[in-house]
Amino acid sequence: VLCWFYIFPGYRLPRDKEIVEEVLRHGEAWQKNQSGIDLYRKLLTECCDPRRMFAVTKENSPIGKVLWYDGEFYHSHTVNNETYPLFVQDNPLQLPLKKCAVVGNGGILRHSKCGRDIDQADFIMRCNLPPLSKEYVEDVGTRSHLVTANPSIIEKRFQNLLWSRKAFVDSMKVYGSSYIYMPAFSMKPGTDPSLRAYYALADTSSNLTMLFANPEFLRTVGKFWKARGVHARRLSTGLFLVSLALGLCEEVTAYGFWPFSVGLDEQPVSHHYYDNILPYKWFHAMPEEFVQLWHLHKSGTLRMRVGHCP
């Protein structure tokens, strides 16, 4: 049977119901395809050089380097004496990473019992400082190695770190000694909160290491997916991380990617595993992204877990 994403690559997005039916039809059967994995690592290395470029480093961003914001037109930051010392020397990850788990925040994780599975990975990436409290452990696990933090979270959840930095530093303890990956140079209003988050961690000798996302990397990854039919104004955090993982890891499993309001059992699913706050409507194109991820799942390039874990 010819599938919709072969017939209409990028032209017409199938309705949510069609996608759910397709996933049900295919089931979660998965077979690793090494040549698919090698191909995507090669494609992503050619376009975006994740090993060298995923973070802003002293190596790729010396003093005087102009960082062009990827989420704004004509806005840039020129690396100077104040910002340069905040960058890590070079890519700090021990490469290649073996088994990676990329954990999205989809409500499909709730009651999935995927926590143990996730925790068994060698490198675990999570999005947007997600809650890892006791009630979620069984479903999402406890360990993390890289966690993204959107500057808007610093603003909303921690009052921009203007009053008390303790609440922020304390709430970061659940991420152990992870890298905190912040798009500090993507949108202009995000830079100050990101730098404040850096200082809050540095001043308390936290175990966490701040990594600023390199806007050039984010831009090239955006272009990569645009050429493959993802037409969002901006990619979702989860797809950036999957792209990073495909570039750096020997094997990638993705959890919590399910931007639909019904599950495979036709029961309602909340947007996040911890709440049901929906994103701005036209900002991301998560169902479009899902179609791409499912395509990679079917070709054995990465594994998507959309149901319960054994």
Interface residue list for ligand CDP (CB under 6 A): 104-107, 127-128, 150, 236-239, 256-259, 271-272, 279, 284, 286
Torsion region of 277: left, alpha or beta (phi above 0 gives left; psi -120 to 50 gives alpha): beta
Residues with Cβ within 8 Å of residue 300, at least 6 apart in sequence? 30, 31, 32, 33, 36, 37
- In the complex, minimum distance from the CB of residue 69 to ligand CDP, in angstroms, rounded to a whole number: 17
The full 3-state SS of 160-211, as one line of letters, equals HHCCCCHHHHHHHHHHCCCEEEECCCCCHHHHHHHHHHHHHHHHCCCCCEEE
The tokens describing 97, both together, are 């990473």
Q: Which is nearer to ligand CDP, 157 or 166 (CB)?
A: 157
Contacts of 173 by beta carbon, 8 Å cutoff, 6+ apart: none
Closest to ligand CDP by CB, 105 or 253 = 105
Between 14 and 256, CB nearer to ligand CDP: 256
Q: Token digits for 102? A: 């990329």
> Least distance in Å: CB of 225 to ligand CDP?
12
CB nearer to ligand CDP: give 154 or 286.
Answer: 286
Residue matched to tokens 């912040």 = 182
Among residues 160 and 270, whose Cβ is nearest to ligand CDP?
Answer: 270
Q: Which is nearer to ligand CDP, 193 or 238 (CB)?
A: 238
Q: How far is the CB of 293 from ligand CDP (least distance, A)?
A: 8
Task: Specify the pairing of strand 76-78 against strand 66-68.
Answer: antiparallel
| Residue whose C-alpha is closest to residue 183's, from 93, 100, 77 | 77
Question: 132 — phi, psi (to 5°)?
Answer: -125, 30
Q: At what angle do helices 286-298 and 237-248 cross, to 10 degrees?
A: 30
Minimum gap (Å) between residue 26 Cβ and ligand CDP: 18
Minimum Å gap between C-beta 17 and ligand CDP is 16
Cβ distance to ligand CDP smaller for residue 83 or 243:
243
Report the distance separating Cα 236 and Cα 229, nearest Å. Answer: 14
Distance of CA 45 to the CA centre of its chain: 18
Tell the smallest beta-carbon distance from residue 254 to ligand CDP (Å).
Answer: 9
Tell me how far, at minimum, the Cβ of 286 lies from ligand CDP, in Å. Answer: 5
Residue with smallest beta-carbon separation from ligand CDP: 238
